[in-house]
Structure 1
Amino acid sequence: MSSVRRATHAGSWYSNSDRELGDQLEKWLNAADLCHGPARAIIAPHAGYSYCGACGAFAYRQVSPICVKRVFILGPSHHVRLSGCALSSTLKYSTPLYDLTLDQGVYDQLYATEQFERMSLSTDEDEHSIEMHLPYIAKVMENFKGQFTIVPVLVGSLTPEKEARYGRLLAPYLADPANLFVVSSDFCHWGQRFRYVNGGDRANGHIHEFIQQLDREGMDIIESLDPAKFTQYLQRTGNTICGRHPIGVLLNAAAALRSSRRPPRMAFKFLCYRQSDRCRTPADSSVSYAAGSLVFS
């Protein structure tokens, strides 16, 4: 077992200078309003910070670090075929700010379910969907350094049945107010290079508006916390939401809690939406980013 996963995307996708990175994250967090917290779970993007860093701050601004002892990070697998979920083989994740310690006790509990496999170090270090959240977690939790752990989970291409299974499995952890769930996802990837040009022939130069309407429909369904409707939406539209499976797991975990004997009151709200470019012709392309927070009351 390698003891530390390197920050392999630092210096390219985000700054590898601890001072520059810390100042940048603090600026973005200070510009976001605290309006839907304390978050029990957030959805935030995972592209390069120059594209989505400011958007992600709206989700992380809702986190109350004094409440958090453990951070689950659910990220989609971009590079390896995975039909289930996988856990890291390392003990720590490195960031330019400081190293984050993985919760081996929770990992043992998850492995005991026989529903998780172990990912290789190369798979771990190639994947960006989890890494892009580590600096934000380190920054938000910096006053509690050494007093919290992380639980990275790489989520594969799950069937709706498997999303429900993992949701039920993770529901007790979501119910614990000492846990924070971070769900890593960008939204619509539109353009020929993404092999998704749905609606472009009907948008009449306003493709970016069509994309926003498409994403907004999906975001409204996520806010309703209805996993079946989200699955139906994806099947109907084909929207290229890369974190659709981690989102599906979160929605199913929430559904499992809502069907329990004493269901908690939950509310999800999206707080920021942006696009990397304003598509007007079929030759254009863009990626959408959204940030939101789930609260319990």
Structure 2
Amino acid sequence: MSNVSGCREARHAGSWYAASDTQLRTQLEGWLSRCTQQCVAKAIIAPHAGYVYCGSCASHAYQQIDPATIQRVFILGPSHHISLSGCALSSARVYRTPLYDMSIDQEVYRELWQTGTFEHMSLQTDEDEHSLEMQLPLLAKVMESRKDAFSIVPVLVGSLSDGKEREYGQIFSHYLGQQGTLFIISSDFCHWGERFHYTYYDETQGEIYQSIEHLDRLGMAAIEALDPKAFNNYLKDYQNTICGRHPIAILLNAVAALRKNGTSMTFSFLSYVQSSLCYKKHDSSVSYAAGVLTTS
């Protein structure tokens, strides 16, 4: 990989998704064409695994984005490689994808720095983090007609306390309430199996994979209720291994702040799949869900 100063490269291209722009476009167009636009997204939750596993699922959320209305896109993804107690901002100025480059909104970054609550993310950490990168090709494809007319605001989210989730939710509510702004929350759902150190199984639900889906849908119901307290209680009760739980909680707290001021919002999940179906304790799987937040 070449080292371009101030530019975050597409490190996972060629392994997690196609490196060829032609092949990638064809793949993304195929998935998106099989999804219907049901609403106009204000925010989406989308998975971040290899596209062979979750690309079709994620496309259900991305199909709800109206490019004509978007000027700025926040991307909140969990940190998989470094320990963070807060949120971190990129040291890059541009993100590179196989389709085209995206500019990071330096004006918004300055505003976020001024809050005194954000940390620096090194370029190495940024390039290693797939939770941010895996959202970029789908976003690039959906926004291709306006590729020079929008900016992005990538944010790496650490292991936050309930209080910090509320604090960041309050900060981001200012932007969520603005016209022309979209939020992408990057998250997979249950990581089940011994290799993930999580084997919760409710035998009353049937097979293991059915128990996993029931478990995930309990959390999805709390999200659809837009209730940050219910979501946090759910996580404490079941310890479900939702890797983007903190970015999701930030979104829920941002929505809660806006709703106090009279803003009406709804959230709906559009797709749910598992990477494989678990029947035995030695099996493993990761769940993926795609959902959309709309204003009403």
Quickly name the TM-score band, shorter chain normalised: over 0.9
Q: Which of 142, 145, 148 in structure 2 is aligned with 1:143? A: 145
**What does residue 157 of structure 1 align with?**
159
**What does residue 78 of structure 1 align with?**
80
**What does residue 285 of structure 1 align with?**
284
Give, in whole Å, the separation in 2 of the partners of 1:23 and 1:3.
Answer: 29
- TM-score, normalising length: structure 1: 0.97
Deviation (angstroms), 1:145 = 1.2
Check conservation: 1:205, 1:280, Cα contact below 8 A. no
Deviation (angstroms), 1:204 = 8.5
Deviation (angstroms), 1:177 = 2.1
Aligned to 1:217, what secondary structure does the other structure show?
A: helix
Task: Render the CA deviation track for 1:74-106: whole Å, top value 9, x for unaligned.
Answer: 000000000000000011000000001000000
- Whichever residue aligns with residue 140 of structure 1, its letter is V
**What does residue 27 of structure 2 align with?**
24
**What does residue 8 of structure 1 align with?**
11
Check conservation: 2:205, 2:214, Cα contact below 8 A. no
Check conservation: 2:205, 2:211, Cα contact below 8 A. no
**What does residue 207 of structure 1 align with?**
208
**What does residue 66 of structure 2 align with?**
64
RMSD value, Cα: 1.1
Aligned to 2:282, what secondary structure does the other structure show?
A: coil
Deviation (angstroms), 1:264 = 1.3
Unpaired segments of 5 or more residues in structure 1? none
Task: State yes or no: 1:264 paired with 2:263.
Answer: yes
Check conservation: 1:205, 1:281, Cα contact below 8 A. no
Deviation (angstroms), 1:54 = 0.2
> Residues 39-188 of structure 1 correspond to what in structure 2 (within 5 A)?
39-188=41-190
Task: Render the CA deviation track for 1:94-150: whole Å, top value 9, x for unaligned.
Answer: 000000100000000000000101100110011000000000111000000111000
Check conservation: 2:47, 2:54, Cα contact below 8 A. yes
The 10-residue stretch of structure 1 (140-149 or 202-211) with the greater mean CA deviation from structure 2:
202-211
What percent of counterpart residues are identical?
A: 57
Deviation (angstroms), 1:69 = 0.1
- Whichever residue aligns with residue 88 of structure 2, its letter is A
Give, in whole Å, the separation in 1 of the partners of 2:5 and 2:172.
Answer: 26
- Whichever residue aligns with residue 12 of structure 1, its letter is S
Unpaired segments of 5 or more residues in structure 2? none
Aligned to 1:254, what secondary structure does the other structure show?
A: helix
Task: Render the CA deviation track for 1:209-229: whole Å, top value 9, x for unaligned.
Answer: 000000001001100000000
- TM-score, normalising length: structure 2: 0.97
Deviation (angstroms), 1:203 = 6.0
